[in-house]
Chain A
Amino acid sequence: MCEQKKTKRVGMVVGIKPGKINEYKKLHSDSNPGVRDLLNKYHLHNFSIFLHQVEGKWYEFGYYEYTGDDFESDMARLTAEPRNQEWLELCDPMQLPLEGEDSWAIMEQVYYNN
């Protein structure tokens, strides 16, 4: 009944500045609407962000499910939303992209079990 045939699962990683962790958490707390409605508008659902330290440095790990029909186009339209641009202007300075990346790095999925 709730078939997820088309779901694309995205895992991603980016560094976070240790001095910005508290601010980042507040910005992403349940009480802050942020851009939650825009994520849903462009078919991004079940979106989690986790934090963990790896070899002394802090990283964010993101997971979400894309349920639309045209990922590239939806991502382009989401990026063009003024409210999303403002949001990224807040978040981007807190993050430390991995070498060779501008923002979140997309990871390779090697396993799935429903």
Chain B
Amino acid sequence: MKLTATTKAICVILLMMVTVGCDGLMSKKVKRVGMVVGLNPKDMSDYKILHSDSNPGVRDLLNKYNMHNFSIFLHQIEGKWYEFGYYEYTGDDFEADMAKMGAEPRIRAWLKVCDQMQLPLKGEKSWAIMEQVYYNE
């Protein structure tokens, strides 16, 4: 059978997808962000309800600006409660996307509700970005 150049190219791409897998192809550009902020204990229930699966919140806007696989965890350290956030940014211009998202009226309304529940670390206005020291795929 004689294969055209285009057919050959498609075969190579398909072979790569099978051997490398979707994760491998997608993970090249991924920026992983870890962040931390305090949480006022009196607002814990409200915060959880606001972030429950049943609440659409701003989930669509996170995706619009290339933020994916977003988790928030809670834990107590020395008697105080903290939130730990993790997400993956898959776009090409992090700063620009964050600026555009920050300007969305629905994000502003969402943050007005959440910000009041949070207690930023010293010197911070909101979530503090942490330093990544390890990654293993």
Q: Would A52 and B133 count as touching, CB distance under 8 A?
A: no
| Interface of chain A: mostly helix, strand, loop or mixed | strand
| Interface of chain B: mostly helix, strand, loop or mixed | strand
Q: Which chain A residue lies CB-closest to B38?
A: A54
Q: Would B137 and A50 count as touching, CB distance under 8 A?
A: no
Interface size on B, residues (CB 8 A): 39
Q: Would B134 and A11 count as touching, CB distance under 8 A?
A: no
Question: Once A and B bind, how many residue pairs between them come within 8 Å at the CB atom?
Answer: 109
Contacts of A108 in B (CB 8 A): 73-75
From B34, B63, B69, B137, contact of A61 by CB (8 A): B34
Q: Which chain B residue lies CB-closest to A64?
A: B136
Taking beta carbons and an 8 Å cutoff, which residues of A are in contact with B? Answer: 1-2, 9, 11, 13, 24-25, 28, 30, 36, 39-40, 44-52, 54-55, 57, 59-61, 63, 98-99, 105, 107-114
Taking beta carbons and an 8 Å cutoff, which residues of B are in contact with A? Answer: 21-23, 32, 34, 36, 47-48, 51, 53, 59, 62-63, 68-75, 77-78, 80, 82-84, 86, 121-122, 128, 130-137
